[in-house]
Structure 1
Amino acid sequence: ESDFVYIEPGTFLMGSLPDEEDREVDEAIHRVTLTKGFRMSKFEVTQKQWVAVMGTNPSAFRENSLPVEMVSWDDVQAFIQKLSIESGISYRLPTEAQWEYAARAGSTSAYSFGANVNFLAENAWYETNSVMSPYAAGNTGSPRPVGTLKPNAWGLYDMAGNVWEWCQDWGAPYPSGEAVDPTGPANQINKNITRIGRGGSWYVPAAQCRAADRMTHDPAKSTPDLGFRLIHD
């Protein structure tokens, strides 16, 4: 439990401000209120944690302290179900809104620490600083052990970079106007918009590590730069 941080309920601006560099069209700014607090893991789920529950390691880059990757959204749901039964705690993925609220940690800037991309390497493993890794052959880059860089203001590590993180929601355009406890659409709205991933990864440029950046991914597919973290009540 010491690895979880309590995130207070609150209201925040979700999306990116109109003048934010690298802003994308799907980041319309809107006010979101989260009426319930939740506990979020300080770290991405590691390979050691995954193997302890599932018995196998699907990851492309193998090391106990690295984030698990090569896990689909569907795989993650199976892990959560098993872990919840074993532990007696109802774990789940964060909603997209919960994820961004926690990633921002009270900020409205491109990154939780501000807008200056020059500081990103102190906070995130991304395209620029993840290369020449001991885990990869040659100069291809890789994820790194969780929690090795600075946390955000709320004590959460690797919310930018390292691996993309699955969220619970189906992707959809943001609502216009205020939202309270949004969970995304009940069903997939079209075949091109799939489950949400957030935070960027070791493989992508800084722009995709911004707090507002959104990615959607087929829930049945996995990649070597996509993992997750857990929340519970």
Structure 2
Amino acid sequence: MGTPDSEEGRSEVEGPVKKITIRQFAAGKYDVTRGQWEVFVNATHRPVVTGCAFSGFEDASRKAWDANPDASWQHLGFPQDKTHPAVCLTWDDAQDYVKWLSQKTGHTYRLLTEAEWEFSARAGSNTPYPWGAVASHELANYGADSGWVGAAVGRDKWLGTSPVGSFPPNAFGLYDMQGNVLQYVEDSFSPTVAQIPSDGSAYKEDVVLHMTGRLTFMNGKKSSESRMVRGGDWGDPPLMLRSGFRNWAPGRGFTLQNYRSGGVEFRVARDL
């Protein structure tokens, strides 16, 4: 797990490279779709909460990451149908969904751990992307080469999310591990790969952070106040789709409980 010093775009949070032992588990073939989320909402009478960042809201007075107070998983600034991934959901939404799914099916569902996610995304590869060294809009839905804006190029014809399974799967048969939407994993924020448990379980330490460089804004916060998100989304530049790229939520100005983004959701894992 992790990226070598020589990989283009690598940051300090992606190292050091560490050997992790992964136990057998099942991973969702696709991200949870809007249609699947709607079944859960109807079954549990869950209210729809508005306020969503990166929702496609066009207003010169706002930045892309500011919250659109009117947006929700039902109402976005880009088109979606039931085959698209459900977005504008919180960390708690994801947790409630896997608990409900476990109760409904009798199996133990959860989010992937960060180590499981990277193992699944790499699918046996050791290159920056599972298909090689260079990103391609023929293989994933992502943004322009710089900035945070959707790009429609070739097979990638969407400026927002795309229907799940629109691009070829990786060698493990998993779709959209790179691009389309970032995926919540179970882990709390950890400054480096060194903290990731060697047995592939989730990092859940609750410690006060002491960061340096560009991450000093996190100083004084607890590690559990942020959760890791992986994979890159429809508006991210290609370097953020790399299998070893580490990202986290919430964005600045939000809490884990109120952060919703048009670029973040989750896929499920199941214990075996």
Q: TM-score range by the shorter chain?
A: 0.7 to 0.9
- Aligned equivalent of 1:164: 182
Letter in 1 for 2:188: W
Change (3 A) 1:67 1:42: same
RMSD: 2.4
Structure 2 counterpart of 1:38: 25
Residues 140 and 38 (structure 1 numbering): CA distance in 2 closer, same or farther, change over 3 Å?
closer
Give the aligned partner of residue 198 of structure 2. Answer: 179
Rounded Cα–Cα distance in structure 2 between residues aligned with 1:201 and 1:24: 18
Counterparts in 2 of 1:1-233, with a 5 A limit?
14-55=1-42, 58-59=72-73, 60=76, 61-117=79-135, 120-128=136-144, 130-131=150-151, 141-173=159-191, 174-175=193-194, 179-187=198-206, 189-190=208-209, 191=221, 193=223, 194-218=226-250, 219-220=256-257, 221-233=259-271
**Residue deviations 1:177-217 (CA, integer Å, cap 9, x gap):** 98222421332544275100000000110011110111110
Q: TM-score w.r.t. structure 2 length?
A: 0.72
- Residue identity (%): 31
For residues 141-194 of structure 1, the C-alpha deviation after alignment (integer angstroms, 9 at most, x for no partner) is: 200000010111111110000000000000112217982224213325442751
Q: Is the 8 A contact 2:197 2:203 kept in 1?
A: no
Q: Secondary structure at the match of 2:248?
A: strand
TM-score scaled to structure 1, two decimals?
A: 0.84
The separation in 2 between residues aligned to 1:177 and 1:50, in whole angstroms, is 30
Deviation at residue 24 of structure 1 after TM alignment? 1.1
Is the CA contact (8 Å cut-off) linking 1:42 and 1:156 kept in structure 2? yes
Structure 1 residues 21, 192: closer, same or farther in 2, change over 3 A?
farther
Which range is displaced more, 33-42 or 221-230? Answer: 33-42
Q: Which moved more, 1:21-30 or 1:153-162?
A: 21-30
Q: Which has the higher mean CA deviation after the structures are superposed, 144-153 or 176-185?
A: 176-185
1:208–1:89 Cα change, 3 Å: same
Structure 1 residue runs of 4+, over 3 Å off? Answer: 128-133
Unmatched segments (≥5 aa) in structure 2: 49-71, 210-220, 251-255
Counterpart-to-counterpart distance in 2, 1:122 and 1:34: 32
Moved more, 47-56 or 144-153: 47-56
Q: How many residues align?
A: 213
Structure 1 letter corresponding to 2:141? W
